[in-house]
Each structure stands twice: as structure tokens, then as C-alpha cells.
Amino acid sequence: MKKLFCCFVLLLTMALLFSACGGSGTTGGAGTPDQGRTASFTKIENEVQARASTQDEFAQVSVGQQLTVGGEARSGDDGRARLEIQTVGTLIYLGPNMLFTLTALQETSQEPFSRLKLEIGQLWIILNGGSLEVETPTGTAAVRGSFMGVNMDENGFATTTCLEGDSA
């Protein structure tokens, strides 16, 4: 467990350094919204709810429903879902008791970029192009062309697992 925690701290430090150097292209106006990129629920199991913004009420989602930037999704005790980001075919699998916000769907000068803010719970990402960041209350994990899992537990401890490729 100590080795895993040390690896997480190292990865978190690298991500912070990378983002401070402008590696993700999300600051200074480099990224712009791409109207062709959408995020849609492609599979729903049990209780999974979403809302377009924090001013809206949560409601049960259905297959095909889109989640827009600024929108939030949450799952119940037995809820699971698959969210697909179109144009690159990125898949995000949402676990039970999870809450996240979609904070960016951008097209930079070089590649598609997406960002999520995970408050609690677990999600897994299959990234088929571009890059994706998962912000948690304790740090940010980034993945490029790979598979990554992120878990944020109720005690504020985040665990990131890179199953293939590069993550920071």
C-alpha cells in the first residue's frame, strides 16, 4: 500500500509540473470548444442520474442522452453507466456511488482534450485519441491514448491506475 501511495504522489507531482508547463493546452485560450464533440450515455444500469448544470435537478438518464460541459452525473448504490465521447470514441465507465462533472470537451491545435471533475466514486477510461484529465479534490490524473482507472473514496484518498500507455 505504501508503494502504491508513493507512486500516486509521484504521478500527481508529475501531472502538476506538466500542467504548470502548459502541457495540456487548456490555459491561455489554446483550447476551444469543438461543436462536433459530444458525450452521450450509451449504456445505463439501474440508478444513474444527470443534470445540465448545478442549477438544475438531477433526473434519471436514458441511453442516447447527452451530457454537456458543466453537466453532472451521479450513480446510486447499484448504478453503472457508459459514457462515450464522440469523434474519438473515448469510453468512460462509471461505477456505483459516483459523482462527477464534465468540465471540458475541447479541440486543441494538436488533439482532442477532455476533462472531468470526480468528487467521489470510481471510473475507468478507454482513451482512443487525444488526452483526458480527471481532477479530484486531491490532484489531477491525465491519460493519453491508453486505459486508466481513478477512484476517489469517501475519506478523500484518490487512487489512479494506468493499465497501459502513459499517465501523469
Query: Residue 165: its pLDDT value, please?
Result: 56
Q: What is the pLDDT of residues 86-140, one digit of tens each?
A: 877 899 999 999 999 999 998 766 788 999 999 999 999 999 888 999 999 999 9
pTM as predicted: 0.76
Average pLDDT for residues 25-48, to the nearest whole number? Answer: 68
Average pLDDT for residues 145-167, to the nearest whole number? Answer: 84
Query: Residue 3: its pLDDT value, please?
Result: 39
CATH class of 2-22+33-167: mainly beta
What residue spans define the domains of the chain?
2-22+33-167
Query: Residue 164: its pLDDT value, please?
Result: 67
Average pLDDT for residues 138-166, to the nearest whole number? Answer: 86
Three-state SS letters, the chain: CHHHHHHHHHHHHHHHHHHHCCCCCCCCCCCEECCCCCEEEEEEECCEEEECCCCCCCEECCCCCECCCCCEEEECCCCEEEEEECCCCEEEEECCCCEEEEEEEEECCCCEEEEEEEEEEEEEEECCCCEEEEEECCEEEEEEEEEEEEEECCCCCEEEEEEEEEEC
The percent of residues above 70 in pLDDT, for the chain, comes to: 74
Query: Residue 20: its pLDDT value, please?
Result: 29
